[in-house]
Structure 1
Amino acid sequence: MSQPYAEVIGDPIKQSKSPAIHNYWIGKLGLDANYRACHVTPEGLADYLAERRKDANWRGCNVTMPHKQAVMSLLDRLDPVAERIGAVNTILRGEDGTLTGTNTDADGFLEPLRQELARDHYFRMARVLGTGGAARAIVAALAGEGLTLVLAGRNPVKAQALLDELAPEGEHHAVDLTHFADPTDFAFDDRAGCFDLVVNASPLGMAGQPPLAFDLSHVPPGSVVYDIVTQPLETPLLKAAREAGFATVDGLSMLIGQAAIAFAKFFGAAPPRDDDAELRKILTT
């Protein structure tokens, strides 16, 4: 019998750390399985899925840019999480070859914030930069945790439509991404009991992408600054925030968190999370 496998698809795909993560866990658990990367262009997406659905050894795939929304119409069903978010980052193959789309980004994103979110706050606000597939999951996740959102995008109309779709309850706001580029003298509420979060959910600041124009005067006192970019791991935003004394969360936190959920779905075993520190060293060398 051939070896069961899963993979990650995207365009480009060489930068993906997913194979290193999943194969690390496969090795730790001693599983007879494999995880790899597969370059799939938008034009080749339908053919890729048609071929894989016939392969009984294929357990499914993770989906990265630019396919998280385009793939939806090519699947047999969406689970409630993917349906609500409107984006798919994980595809699972059933024994009969049916393909189901789900999304592990939201739970993976929230994982490093769970301890803080378990506390009582009288006000929670997040400034989220970006309106792509990952941002959709992040907006849905944060709205579900009771945060008031300021969503910034190159197209504020698109940002408002995303809020209307994913977070119709609450007094959320859509702004142009340039709103955060210039300094502000706004007097933020710095009382104890506030939880403020700044999230770069865009590819800006990633190697090979334009820089993110963001002035730290828009970060309220005591904020957590979270950047989902993984290359480089310490983005200019995180470096500046850390040096200014803010708590920071890097992109590996979300990447490992969402991968752990997908891994259990692909291979039927929970990954060994006690070794995350060792895994991080592997991913950063």
Structure 2
Amino acid sequence: MGHQATITGTTRLFVIIGDPIEQVRSPQVFNPLLTGAGRDAVLVPVHVRPGGLAAVIQGFRAMDNLDGIVVTVPHKMAVAHLIDDIGPTGRLVGGVNAVRREPDGRLVGDMFDGQGFLIGLRRAGHDPKGRRALLVGAGGAGSAVGFALAGAGVERLTIVDVDAAKADGLASAVAAAHPQVRVDRGPAVPDGHDLVINATPLGMRPDDPLPLDPARLTPGILVADIIMKPAVTPLLHAAAAQGCIVHPGKAMLDSQVEAIAGFFGIPMP
């Protein structure tokens, strides 16, 4: 990991909260940035189960040396209801993945998943404009990715979620914000699509089922996953075997680090 800053009584804190937490890569990414910027600060993982989330956010409000919170699965939507203010993207999506603690103790959040996903796709040479996208998962990250794809000019967006109300809600909101995009609710079937995104947590645990049947994938479809660990998920393995182009979750994280660092006031090298 390189040189780890010495933690003293003056060290400022950033945290990442999630359930599970072992898979997060933010500490390995942000701590070298903080050290490189000469900041006396560290980012540490905090394992928070949903039942304890409200109490933890209350506790964070009382921690005067806490500067920011990175939010991961499954807390992105729930945290949005527990903070004081939300930026425009977060408000649209209804979720946040970064929260800044202002000097007066107010908690202000915004959502960078969609922007991160889009930048990552483009950096890999994949422009979503004009594509027919199948989005599996309408939670916090899925919502952010859905709005970002619609904003980037996909021709069609099919939204899938095991929770029908979630899929309906996201489809209506994206259609209202981007009337030029054809938005459908659909089954998790890639036929007729040339971009498939897994925005569910399926694939993080070894015994997870696949988010869709890989036998339905045809060569040339771009299959993206937002899961960071494993780096190559079972879905991406199966997609590659079918002759698809695959795009791993790490691309999204790497691309949104800049945006989150800026939001936290951490200069990039």
Cα-to-partner distance string for 1:71-107 (whole Å, 9 max, x where unaligned): 1221111111100111111111111111111011111
Letter in 1 for 2:212: F
SS in 2 for 1:69: helix
Q: Tell me how far apart the structure 1 counterparts of residues 88 and 214 of structure 2 sit (CA, whole Å).
A: 37
1:110 aligns with 2:126: no
State the partner residue of 2:146: 139
**Kept after mapping to 2: 8 A contact 1:206/1:231:** yes
Structure 1, unpaired ranges of 5+: 181-185, 190-195, 273-285
- When the two structures are aligned, how many residues end up with a matched partner? 256
State the partner residue of 2:184: 173
Structure 1 residues 18-33: aligned runs within 5 Å: 18-33=26-41
Q: Percent identity?
A: 36
Cα-to-partner distance string for 1:133-178 (whole Å, 9 max, x where unaligned): 111111111011111101122244531221101333232111233x
Deviation at 1:6, TM superposition (A): 0.6
Q: Tell me how far apart the structure 2 counterparts of residues 220 and 244 of structure 1 sit (CA, whole Å).
A: 6
State the partner residue of 1:92: 100
State the partner residue of 2:171: 163
Structure 1 residues 169-248: aligned runs within 5 Å: 169=179, 170-177=181-188, 179=189, 196-208=194-206, 210-216=208-214, 218-219=216-217, 221-248=219-246
Structure 2, unpaired ranges of 5+: 1-8
Structure 1 residues 5-20: aligned runs within 5 Å: 5-20=13-28
Q: Tell me how far apart the structure 2 counterparts of residues 230 and 207 of structure 1 sit (CA, whole Å).
A: 12
**Cα distance change, pair 140–69 in 1 and its aligned pair in 2 (3 A):** same
Q: Tell me how far apart the structure 1 counterparts of residues 207 and 32 of structure 2 sit (CA, whole Å).
A: 29
1:74 aligns with 2:72: no
SS in 1 for 2:108: strand
Letter in 1 for 2:53: L
Say what the alpha-carbon RMSD is for the aligned residues.
2.3
Cα-to-partner distance string for 1:25-81 (whole Å, 9 max, x where unaligned): 223444321110112222322222222223332111011122111112211111111
**Kept after mapping to 1: 8 A contact 2:120/2:254:** no
Q: Tell me how far apart the structure 1 counterparts of residues 247 and 23 of structure 2 sit (CA, whole Å).
A: 20
**Cα distance change, pair 17–268 in 1 and its aligned pair in 2 (3 A):** closer
- Equivalent of residue 260 in structure 2, options 238, 259, 262: 262
Q: Which moved more, 1:239-248 or 1:142-151?
A: 239-248
Q: Tell me how far apart the structure 2 counterparts of residues 20 and 87 of structure 1 sit (CA, whole Å).
A: 24
Q: Tell me how far apart the structure 2 counterparts of residues 209 and 92 of structure 1 sit (CA, whole Å).
A: 35
Cα-to-partner distance string for 1:208-242 (whole Å, 9 max, x where unaligned): 55221533454455332111112211112212222
SS in 1 for 2:63: coil
Letter in 2 for 1:42: P
TM-score (norm 1): 0.81
SS in 1 for 2:81: helix
SS in 2 for 1:140: helix
SS in 2 for 1:173: strand
Q: Tell me how far apart the structure 1 counterparts of residues 74 and 56 of structure 2 sit (CA, whole Å).
A: 15
**Kept after mapping to 1: 8 A contact 2:137/2:199:** yes
Q: Tell me how far apart the structure 1 counterparts of residues 252 and 164 of structure 2 sit (CA, whole Å).
A: 26
TM-score (norm 2): 0.85
1:124 aligns with 2:131: yes
1:50 aligns with 2:58: yes
